Amino acid sequence: MSKIHSTVVISKKANLEKDVEVGPYCVIGDNVKVGKGTKILNNVTIIGNTEIGQDNKIFSGVVIGSPPQDLKYKGEESFLHIGRNNIIREYTTINPGTQNNTTKIGDDNLMMAYSHIAHDCHVGNKCVFANNATLAGHVTVEDEAVIGGLSAVHQFVHVGNLSIIGGCSKVVQDIPPYSTCDGHPAKVYSINFVGLKRSNVSLDTIRQLKTSFKILFHSGLSLPHALEKIKGEFKNPSAELSHLISFINSSERGIAR
> Strands of 49-52's sheet, edge to edge?
15-16, 33-34, 49-52, 79-82, 102-105, 122-123, 140-141, 158-159
Whether 119 is catalytic: yes
Whether 120 is catalytic: yes
Q: What is the DSSP string of 238-255?
A: -HHHHHHHHHHHH-SS-B
89 beta partners: none
User: CA 187 to CA 218: how far, in whole Å?
Assistant: 12
Burial of 252 (0-12, 13-18, 19+ CB in 10 A): exposed
User: CA 211 to CA 232: how far, in whole Å?
Assistant: 12
Q: Which of 119, 138, 154, 158 is catalytic?
A: 119
Q: Hey, what amino acid is at 75? A: G
Count of residues for the chain? 257
Q: Which of 35, 137, 166, 195 is catalytic?
A: 137
Whether 124 is catalytic: no
Q: Which of 70, 107, 120, 143 is catalytic?
A: 120
Catalytic residue numbers read: 119-120, 137
